[in-house]
C-alpha cells in the first residue's frame, strides 16, 4: 500500500506542512530499513498493511526523537516493528 504523506501526518497528528520534506525523507529510509531487514528484493510485501504500520512506527520513533540531545536510544527499534518484520519475512518464505 505504501503510506501517503497525508496518512502519515494524520498518524503522527501533524497539521502543518513545515516537516513534509523531512517526513518524506524519513519514510524513504524507514521503508528501505524494513525491506533490508526482511531481506527481499520483491515488493509484494508492500501491499500488506503490516508493512505500512511498521513503517509508521519507525517513522514516528525517528521523527519524535531526532534531536541529538534525546535520552532515547535511537538504535532501539520501537516495540512491534521487529514482530512485523518477522511476520513479513514469513510472507516471503511462504511465497
pTM exceeds 0.85, yes or no: no
Residue with the three cell numbers 519507525: 58
pLDDT of amino acid 53: 94
What is the chain's pLDDT, residue by residue, as a tens digit (95 residues)? 688 999 999 999 999 999 999 999 999 999 999 999 998 777 878 888 999 999 999 999 989 887 766 566 656 778 789 999 989 988 766 65
Residue 41 CA: distances (Å) to CA of 2, 36, 45, 82? 16, 8, 10, 19
Q: Tell me what pLDDT residue 59 has.
A: 95
Residue 55 and residue 31 in contact, taking contact as beta carbons nearer than 8 Å: yes
What CA–CA distance (Å, rounded) separates 93 from 95? 6
Interatomic CA distance for residues 22 and 18, integer angstroms: 9
Please give the distance of CA 75 from its chain centroid, rounded to a whole number.
Answer: 14
Check residue 28 and give its pLDDT.
Answer: 95
- Output the pLDDT for position 90: 82
Distance CA 65, CA 27 (A): 15
Amino acid at each position: 500500500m505504501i503510506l501517503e504523506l497525508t496518512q502519515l501526518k494524520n498518524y503522527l497528528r501533524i497539521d502543518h506542512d513545515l516537516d513534509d520534506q523531512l517526513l518524506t525523507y524519513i519514510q524513504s529510509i524507514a521503508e528501505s530499513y524494513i525491506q533490508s531487514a526482511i531481506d527481499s528484493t520483491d515488493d509484494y510485501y508492500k501491499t500488506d498493511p503490516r508493512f505500512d504500520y511498521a513503517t509508521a512506527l519507525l517513522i514516528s520513533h525517528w521523527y519524535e526523537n531526532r534531536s541529538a540531545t534525546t535520552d532515547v536510544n535511537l538504535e532501539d527499534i520501537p516495540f512491534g516493528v521487529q514482530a512485523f518484520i518477522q511476520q513479513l519475512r514469513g510472507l516471503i518464505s511462504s511465497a
